[in-house]
Structure formats: structure tokens, C-alpha cells
Amino acid sequence: MLLSIASSFQRGDYDMCNCSEHESSGSLAKMTGASVEPAMKPQVPLSRQISISDDDSGDQPAATDLQPFPPFRLCRLDFREGCYQINFRPTAGFVSFEGTLRVDRSAPDGGADHLIVSGDLYSKRPVIGPIPHPLPPVGNKNADEAAADAGLTSLAGSLSAVDEPAIPFPIRRPRIPIFPRARYHSYLRVTSVSAPVAVPLPKKCELTIVAEQFNYTQPPVGQFKGTFPATPSRTVTMKLAKVPAPFPFSLTGGPFYEGRLFEGGVDKGSVTLAWVSKFFRRATLEIDTLVGAVRPAPVPDGAGGTEFFDTIFARTGWQLTVVQDQLNVPVPSGVVPTNCWSSADLHALMTTVRNPATNLDAEWRVHMIVVPAKLGCSRGIMYDQIGVPREGCASFSDDGYPTSDSSNFGLAANRKQRDVPRAFLRSATHELTHTLNQIHQEQETAADNSIMTTTPSVADVLGGPATGEPGVFPDQIKLAHNTNVRHHLNHMPDPVIRPGGWPFASWFPTGAPQAADRHDFEPSELTLAVTATTDRVALGQPLDLTWTMTNTSGVSLRAPNDVGIEALFASITVTDAEGRERPVRPFVILCEHAKLSELEPGKSVTASAKVFWSTAGFAFERPGRYRVDVAVSWSAQGVMVGVQSGIDVFVDYPSSASDNHSANLVLHPEVGKWVALGGDAYHLGEACRRLQALSQTAAPAGALAVAGDGAPAPRVLDGFADLLPDRAKLARLRPELTADTGGRAERGPARAAAPGRKRAAKAKKRTGRKG
């Protein structure tokens, strides 16, 4: 008998989710409503629904001589929806602040007033001389870029520079501003807004905004995830009056406010708000297409128009510019483009063809590459890092909708994506939204008919448990984000969302949820067994980890059909002897086939990974004792359920100069990327050089050393037996590296391929790679 709450959810004792769309009135956009509350709680500050009040009497003394009909002034504050540029100039200090304030008055999850307001502040260099109002960049360059071009990067240089004309030529209408990541200062979680309709004379009409400010700590050099405090750093109140918009803000046709900012009743400085756009955020999508592939195209919207990436994001509240860039990108040497692509080959292609002039400090830009592939590979993929986190994704035009993924694909069953335009656009938008740090709704809420539910689950939602009626999928696909994802996209802090910001899926807890939030299965229901090839590794040696989830109950349970970390239902966390946790995040997000499905009694699903490096750093940075935990978790009707298990591992101290040298070679981020990509990433030159040097130290540990050396090879080699570069391929692809052995002389003839390498060679044949 199943005893746990988790099992009762999985058996379907509770009603299935209601996946109906949220219909709106007035300016409220038509959205797909999340069917349940999110089970995964963000570990970042996030604005929630508030009410707008017309009561502005809180700071006024009580009237003592009430008049029966006092004269009133009507207030036309026009606090309209959209993005505002905010500028705050403190009365003390040289540093001022600029940023954006997002006023979302059509939020489906915004309460009775449909209102959510959030903002982000960036520090700003000091400027000599008073100016009547802060001005945005209106030429081709912002103030930071102009200062950099002039060679003035220090505080002294900025203070001593001769001012340029206030309005440079050409004049451009202000738009949503974008600021450098390194200048990010704080997040504003607005808790109340007061906009009176009328006030008694002689009182002024004032817009009052109260916000909790969360100061941000920038990440260490070489990392991308900073930190926010758990509680607000301060609470501030802005009192603003609507005034005529100065030039060039007058070009927008929107309101302009100026006033004062208070903290604890103390005046801290001047503040201005300038409306710049009806959208909340803006970004650019660059699409490149390989020879033989077909990129997604606009599809009919049912009302005489079309839907495309830009209209989908416009419905969410984003201004997305689509750049249809390179066509007929050449096929890389040694790759069969109509077979499944290896992670390394696709990563190399994206590294090569992306726009080298991209500046993520001046533009939120995502790169998408479209390649053919074939049925059964994956409809798309996202990389956590090309050069920086969440910069690119890929879509496969010749993969599609195999019945092995779902029996509910209807007329799309076993057809290519290029032949099913609506489903193709949905799948590509799914990968694009991954690059903006959004996760599957099967993890966060429940499967529904929205962009961030995986394609097989959407088909199952539309087609029912086993019907798959023709015309349901793909015709009734909803090309929209649900309310939960919409909320995240519009109101999460900039560093979490913007390309080049936080690593993927780093905004929620790693591993299993905290005890207060999770419901675990009983061992008699569902188990997770974690094993490793060894419980002791050398410093710098990858750990081969395997885990198996088994249904030990007597009934079928709804559970993930893929428990690999790339499918996002599983996570790995490494904890050192001092209790410091480090997540091992997936470098490749390969999840379009993943869904919740029936796991029959006695059946199991298994996955494995090399625990070595992720965008959070190296799993085992120093010798000592570690705990490696695997958690598989998902949302069951808004309740987080799952299983968790782990093993203890000891990382040995180096015992020789050779051990130290080997560890120094492999503990490098490019070697980490090589391992995360599964090897054969010959575009990573530094990784090739270091691993070539490692391969020339000696044979694997336990074998007799060559050239008369009586000592065994470093144990690090055992973890790289199936990952070392192929010498012939290295000589062909990177001839400049073949003579460079990292300062180590070659010691004997090339050794025979290890069993792991032979297995890897077979895998390459299946994925269309040529030797």
C-alpha cells in the first residue's frame, strides 16, 4: 500500500490540471494560465502582486476645519504600463544610479489590479556639472562606451573630462536602456503604489512608490553568479510629481516624473522616472542556418495575421528583434549534418558562426543555429555556456515528432519539424526561452499547453492520455508562455534573466528541496540507487557516477522518463567536509524528449555522468572527503516530490610530482568544458594542449610504465581513458598543437585505445561523426 503524499499525487488521486487559457479583458494580454502554484521557489528577490491605491492621505495631518465641499485638484498622473528609465542622484557621494522600472498593469497573476512592479539599478559614473534632467544615450554609443573610446576609465579621468554636447547627433528616440553587467547594483521589489485621482487644494498630486531594495554582490572573477541578501537591504519611498517631459524623453509621448527618494523619512536625493516603452524588456535573436536546414517561419494566428518569435514575446511583454542572419552556413569538416549531432560538434559550430561583435553589456542577444539532424535526435538543445552563460541554442529542422516520444502527436506523428511549422516554431521558442533561464513547467508547476512544457507533454495534454486525435496536435498548440514563466521573464532580476548573466537553473535550490517543501517517496514505493566506479579518486580525476530510479511499489507511478541531468529532472550536488555545497549543473540542456510518464512496477530508469566540472566550477577542487548527492524531483500538482540518495567520495592527496603536474594540467576550465561536452571538442585549443600533455606522461595506472620508468602513471589518467584526444585527428584538425606537449617529452609509442575509447568510437558512429 502506498503511504506517502508523493505517491497519492503520482497515482492521480487528485484531479488533473486544468489547462484552459486565461482569457482577459481590456488591455490584459491573452495568456496561458499556470494550472497550479509553482512548486519551485526562486532564491532571488521577486516582485509579487500589489494593489494601486488612490489614498494619498498617509503623510498628511488630519484636517481640523472640514469643509462640506472642499475644492479639489484632479490628478492625471498617467502611471501607464511599460518600462521606465529611472535615475537616482544621492545628495551625498559621487556615485549616482540608473536603471529600469517595469510597471506591469496587465499581469494575469497580479491580483485584482493586475499590477506587479519591479526594477533594477546600476551604478553610474560621476559627471561634472549640473544638468537639468538625466539624459539617455541618443547616439550610437552610451556614455560608458564613449569614455572607454576616449581612454578615460578611471574616476579621476571621468571627473576631469570635458563634457560633450548634451544632445549629440543623430538624435534618437529613447528606448529601453541596457547597462553593463559589472555595474549592476540592486533589485527593487515594489510593495505599494499610490496614485491619487484627486487631492484637496493646495496639496500637490504625487505618485508614491514604496520599494524594498536588495543590494547585489557581484560574482568573483571568472564566475557569473552573484548573490542577493535574503532580506531587503533597505526600504525606500519615492514621491514623484508629473512634469513636462524634457527632450529627448518628449519624443516618446509618455509621462515623466521627478521628485525625491526617502529612506526612513530622510531625504536621500533626487529621482526621475521617464516612460520609454510599452514593453518591459528588450532583446535580439540572431538566427543562422546550416546548409540543408530550414529555419522556423511565421505561422497563421487564426485572425488574419501571423505569429513568430517577436509576436510570441510581445504577448509576454518583451520587444524581441529577430535578425535572420547567415544562410547556408557550411557544414563543418567531419560532420554528417543529417545525423544526430554530438554536443562537441554543435558547440564548435556555434562558437564559430556567432557574431563576433556581440557585446552583451550593450545588448541582450541570443544566438540560434538551425541544423538538419534527423528524426529521434532531439528537437533542440541549449548550452549553458558558449563563451558566457546562456548565450546560444540550436534547433533541428529534420528532427520531429516520433511516436516513441508520444502517442498523441496526431497528424504530426513521425514527421519532420520543417513539415509541421506551428510545432517547429513552438519547439524553437522553447529553446530560446531556456536561454533566458526558464525551466520546464513539469518541474515548476504542471504540464500544460504552453511554451515551457516539453513537446511530448504538450501533445499528451492536448491529446489526452491515449487519444492523439488528428488535428489536436499541432493545430491547437498555444504559442505563449504561461503566467508563471511570464512573471519570471518580466520581473526576475536582470542578472538572472539576461544572456551572459547567471548560469542556467541557478536561481532555485540545487538537489532535493528542503524538508519543509518536499514530499519524498517511501523506499517501498520509489527508490534511487547511486553508485560510482570507485570511492577514491585522484585530485583532478573525473568521477564516473551512475544512478537508477526504480518503482518498488505494486502500481504504476507518474515519474520522469529520463533522469539524466541534461533532461533537468535530476541534479547533482557535491558537499565538501566543511559543508560547502556546489551544484554540478548540466552544460548541455537536452530535454525535448523528457516528460512525466508511467513507470510500471519493477521498472527502472538509469542515467550517468562524469562529475568533474560545471559552470559552478570544479566539483573536487582540493583533496579531502566529499558527499555526492543525486536528487530526482518534479512537480505533482504544484507539490514538489522526488527521491534522493548519494555516496561518499575521498579525493586523495597528490603523492608525487607527477600527480601534482597532472592535476595542474586538467584543473583548467577548458578541460572542464571538454569533459562536459563528452570529449572530442577539438575547437577547445587549450584543452587539446593540456590533454595531449597528459596522455604523454605514461600508460594508465596499474600498467607497466614505458621507457624504463618504474613508477605507475598518475591515476588522473584513469578518469580520462575515454576522453583523451585522438592523436591522428588532433594532427589533422589542430596541427599547430601537435608539436606542443606542455613541456613534457613524449615517452614511448602511442598506447592502444582503452576500452572506454572503443565504446566512444562506437558512439561516434551512431551520432554521424567521422574519424
Per residue in 485-529, pLDDT tens?
999 999 999 999 999 999 988 887 765 444 446 688 999 999 999
Mean pLDDT value across residues 627-656: 92
Reading the block at residue 321, the C-alpha cell is 528583434
For 734-743, the pLDDT digits (tens) are: 888 875 444 3
Give the C-alpha distances (Å, rounded to integers) separating 37 from 148, 451, 484, 485, 540. Answer: 46, 17, 8, 12, 42
Distance of CA 339 to the CA centre of its chain: 28
Q: pLDDT band at 345, cuts 50/70/90?
A: very high
pLDDT at 562 over 70: yes
Give the C-alpha distances (Å, rounded to integers) separating 148 from 152, 391, 565. Answer: 6, 24, 42
Q: pLDDT band at 170, cuts 50/70/90?
A: low
Reading the block at residue 170, the C-alpha cell is 543623430
The residue with cell 541534479 is 571
- Those residues with Cβ within 8 angstroms of residue 59's Cβ, 6 or more apart along the chain or in another chain: none
pLDDT given at position 24:
34
Q: pLDDT band at 231, cuts 50/70/90?
A: very high
pLDDT given at position 44:
83
> DSSP letter string over 271-312?
EEEEEEESSSEEEEEEEEEBTT------EE-SSSSEE-HHHH
CA atoms within 13 A on the CB side of 383: 26
Ordered domains of the chain (ranges, CATH): 52-57+70-277 (no CATH), 281-497 (3.40.390.10), 518-652 (2.60.40.3880), 657-766 (no CATH)
Percent of the chain with pLDDT over 70: 79
pLDDT given at position 522:
94
For 420-476, the pLDDT digits (tens) are: 999 999 999 999 999 999 999 988 888 999 999 999 999 999 986 556 677 799 999
How big is the chain, counted in residues? Answer: 771
Distance of CA 544 to the CA centre of its chain: 26
Mean pLDDT lowest for which of 2-6, 142-146, 554-558? Answer: 142-146
pLDDT at 91 over 90: yes
pLDDT given at position 248:
94
pLDDT at 309 over 80: yes
pLDDT given at position 71:
83
pLDDT at 623 over 50: yes
pLDDT given at position 127:
55
Mean pLDDT lowest for which of 77-86, 283-292, 293-302, 347-356? Answer: 347-356
For 395-424, the pLDDT digits (tens) are: 999 999 999 999 999 999 999 999 999 999
Q: pLDDT band at 40, cuts 50/70/90?
A: low
3-state secondary structure of 44: coil
What is d(CA 760, CA 304) in angstroms, rounded to the nearest whole number?
A: 51
Burial of 112 (0-12, 13-18, 19+ CB in 10 A): exposed
The dihedrals phi and psi of 99, each to the nearest 5 degrees, come to 175, -155
Which of 99, 174, 123, 83 lies closest to 490 in space, CA to CA? 83
For 722, the enclosing helix (H) or strand (E) is: none
Residue type, 546: T
What is d(CA 366, CA 771) in angstroms, rounded to the nearest whole number?
A: 32
pLDDT at 340 over 50: yes
What is d(CA 763, CA 339) in angstroms, rounded to the nearest whole number?
A: 12
- Those residues with Cβ within 8 angstroms of residue 522's Cβ, 6 or more apart along the chain or in another chain: 2, 3, 4, 7
pLDDT at 64 over 90: no
The residue with cell 490628478 is 75
The dihedrals phi and psi of 674, each to the nearest 5 degrees, come to -55, -45
Q: pLDDT band at 77, cuts 50/70/90?
A: very high
- Those residues with Cβ within 8 angstroms of residue 577's Cβ, 6 or more apart along the chain or in another chain: 624, 625, 626
What is d(CA 679, CA 764) in angstroms, rounded to the nearest whole number?
A: 11
